[in-house]
Amino acid sequence: MVEDEQEIRELMALHLLRQGYRVTECASAEEALNEMNRQNYSLFVLDWMLPGLSGVDIVDKIKAKNTGASVLMVTAKTEPQDIVAGLEKGADDYMTKPFNPSVFIARIKALLRRSQVQAAAPAADDGEVSLLGLKINFKSYEISYNGEPLHLTPSEFKLLGALVQNHGCVLTREQLIENIQGEGINVVGRTIDTHVFGLRKKLGEWGDRIETIRGVGYRVKVDIA
């Protein structure tokens, strides 16, 4: 969240926190650049008019460092040419101030859904992804650990696939629900927690890599202390 006006920044952050997202607040583009060198982010909310570097000045840097990250510009620059310029610079969406909080949240969710779908595409031509002894084939719906086949339910397979392909990144319960929900499958509330519990049992020692992020969701850790 990159916004130099503290009240607006804190208001946007509050709305996101209430939705279960983790938020890092920055008051300048320079601060945001330093922050993104320390960790990866799924989405950036950028003001255009900032002290020092402007929001549009760092869109390309964000895209280069955080592959797959989305950028939403939220700015008082409302002219059509400004909107076009922001999008041509690489922003994925553009909102003008003042904004409706519910529309702001809806835009955030839409961008995260889009990036999740893109990230979920199998990395290899044969549709297989490997991570630390775990192999998932998205074409044959087969999964194995150290050569031993595992038998998962369709929902468990989709859930683990999303976590593995986004390893290191936190996926909220809402994102995971959207990933496994489909025809004949209705996922609500804490159903995700039940699936994760079942996955951990079936995966054995590998299941320890599925980390609970309290109040947010889950992620797969590559390194375990």
Measured CA to CA in angstroms, residue 35 lies from 29, 88, 93, 152 at distances of 10, 24, 22, 38
Q: Where in the chain is the domain with CATH 1.10.10.10?
A: 128-220
Q: Which CATH architecture has domain 128-220?
A: Orthogonal Bundle (1.10)
Length of the chain (residues): 225
Q: 158: buried, middle or exposed (CB in 10 Å: 19+, 13-18, 0-12)?
A: buried
Which of 1, 28, 26, 4 minimizes the C-alpha distance to 15? 1
SS3 assignment, position 38: coil
Whether pLDDT at 115 is above 90: no
SS (H, E, C) 44-70: EEECCCCCCCCCHHHHHHHHHHCCCCE
SS3 assignment, position 71: strand
Rounded Cα distance between 159 and 192, Å, is 8
Is 0.75 surpassed by the pTM of this model? Answer: no
Q: Which of 7-21, 120-134, 197-211 has the lowest mean pLDDT?
A: 120-134
pLDDT of residue 120: 47
Rounded Cα distance between 35 and 86, Å, is 22
Q: Where in the chain is the domain with CATH 3.40.50.2300?
A: 6-119
Whether pLDDT at 187 is above 60: no
Q: How many helices (H) and strands (E) does the chain have?
A: 8, 10
pLDDT digits over 29-82, tens only?
999 999 988 888 889 999 999 999 999 999 988 888 877 788 999 999 999 899
Tokens of 223: 């390194």
Q: What is the DSSP string of 96-162?
A: ESS--HHHHHHHHHHHHHHHHHHHTS-SSTTSEEEETTEEEETTTTEEEETTEE----HHHHHHHHH
Q: Which CATH number is associated with domain 6-119?
A: 3.40.50.2300
Whether pLDDT at 129 is above 70: yes
